[in-house]
Chains A and B, each alone.
Chain A
Amino acid sequence: MNIYEPQLATVTELVDETPDTRTLRLEFQDEAVRESFTFKAGQFGEYSVFGAGESTFCIASPPTRPGFIECSFKAVGKVTTALREVNVGDTVGFRGPYGNSFPVDDWKGKDVVFVAGGIGLAPVRCVIWNVLDRRDAFGDVTIIYGARSVDDLVYKRELEEWASRDDVRIVTTVDPGGETKGWTGEVGYVTPVVEKTAPAAANAVAVLCGPPIVVKLTLPVLAELGFADEAIFTTLENRMKCGLGKCGRCNIGPVYVCKDGPVFTAAQLKELPAEF
């Protein structure tokens, strides 16, 4: 088997999350692949537009919803700009799933706190649905999500859906100046909102994902709230080509993000050289 040969998938749905962020739903064209494909929350893949190339993102849909996968991306590079151009019915390529995953099954019985900034909600969304689809297995679920502006909030329909549930506590925030007239959420950066929301750390895990600055600033706040480094999970991104531990570019010191990650605990992050 040639590990670099992609599976073909049809775009069956697309959602414009923000002016520059889009979600695609993909269904594998090969029936056997469609039926046998499984993955774990937190794993990623190489998505491709033929002629533009491959790009790496997490699988943003949860493994508890088989039959399709979804990805959300911001159109910033060559491939994501091309992906932004595809329509429902078009064919794209996919290789994966690759990498490790969030140990969601180990969290049964615990409270789960999700903290995300911007497009960082994409990998977290997969875990949120993975938890909510088995809601009874977990304790309290808290979601703290921030973006630059109301326009930049991704998964707006789902944010509303989560807000309407009485078994989820959700706090949304936008950066100062990013609010609209009718905005009823918080105004402020994610980190102080986490501090203010102060989710309980006893018997809880935190899942944190966002721009490097959000991760960097929020880690000490979570520690202050009592979350142990082993109970804080995040997912890293680095430029990748193969996703298979061979092309040699995603390592942070001795750790390969594609094979040893992308999911790491805060304890593991502290062991890494400061080169990410």
Chain B
Amino acid sequence: MSKNLYGTPTDSTDAQERALVDASCRIPVLLFIASSVFWLLVGTVFGLIASIKLHNPHFLIELPRWFALYLDKFSPDGTVDFINAMLTFGRVRPAHLNIVAYGWASASALGVAIWLMARLCRAPLRFPALVTAAMVLWNIAIAIGTIAILGGKSTSIEWLEFPSYVSIMLFVSYALISIWGVNMFVHRKPGHVYVSQWYIMAALFWFPWLYGTANLLLIFAPIQGSSQAIVNWWYGHNALGLWFTPIGLAAAYYFIPKVIGRPVHSYYLSAFGFWALALFYSWNGGHHLIGGPLPAWLITSSIVASLMMFVPVLVTAINHHMTMKGNFHMLHYSPTLRFVVFGAMSYTLASLQGSSMAFRSWNSLTHFTHYTIGHSHLGLYAFFTMIMFGSIYYIVPRLTRREWPSITLIKIHFWGSAYGIILMVLVLSVGGVVQGWMMNNPQIPQNTFENILKITNPYLFARSLSGALLMVAHIAFALNLTLILLGWGKKTGGPTLFNQLEASEEAKPKESTL
């Protein structure tokens, strides 16, 4: 009988059951994860280009002259201009947003959610072909959508830039996964429904609703003028709050207790936090339009709800902290825990910052500035993306039955991401406040538009540096992932990785038989 380090037998039925579940998820989940990491790299490149363009407007505005002349010889008229147009800031930036939001974040969320769902339902994945088909459709949609945005077919509605035919594809793909999720839930092994399952079920349910409504009211049958703005930000904010956040929290509520081997501090609080999030988050969208052309009652209710977000956020923060208490040394040992705990801490920060940004006075200063961009990166990167990284570090070895090939690459990834995102949020926050203060105080003669641009320039340059750090981190991550998928990592035998004494225990009996 094989035992793990702690002397616990590892060939139990539980272990076999998990192995079966993992084997059933292998193809769709690995495909989702691999494709999302591909889009992460593409999205980072676009983000970096857009960032450089903000402090160096002549960077990459057109193809090099010699190449343009060469291309002109054999391509139809207008090709060169068409390509030049693709490189303009106003197209690269939405391409960046949509690639990272849908290509990376949503796809990795789906991969992680599918794995978590199967594992928590303790049942092998049902209809893996359906999930794989959804994944293929999803990726085709992202590819077409990216080309459409670069080619000038963007809808110019923030967070929904993909043209209508792409949103239909995404919606269908998403609906397939949602139906799968419900089916999976129905066919789960009887027993308690863990809080992560609540979060995932809710997210799988909310997002198609959000996405469908927003697309209908904004793109397929657009409603009038400024009511569009409110639907736009109702969607934009809820995509974060009711899709990325629940998946991120589902992963955090599973991986933190699971990795350190200690149940969540207060399960009651975790359930409470879930329902409080559902209640308050959905009202928050209006705080994107403070001072905008909308009724005051609407904006005010959004501000109130934003402040109420303190409740679920603090509940979650306290809960995670108390779970981790006494186990912080585990951060040295576990890559998953490092990323997930970083993400969970950032969730608290990002949410508190977000709530504070709903105050009218603070909002009027920061609203149209880089401060907001810093905030969205704190939310989507420091919180959500970091948790996805952590989850992937846990999931992939269990699906490939291999260890990660390189510790160094994991460390480069973690520190590159951590320092990169901290730097980015810092410089954008400070730069944004300076920008907003100068913008709103034109009576001071020094606060000309010229000076605003000159003063924010070094901050934007530092942001590009942080982007380069993230790029390095992502390349290290992608490399490690490619290697493990190609079968480079050390092979491990059982379904329970890391616990096994494969090096010592399993080797010893062999020696004795010799």
A and B held together in a complex: no
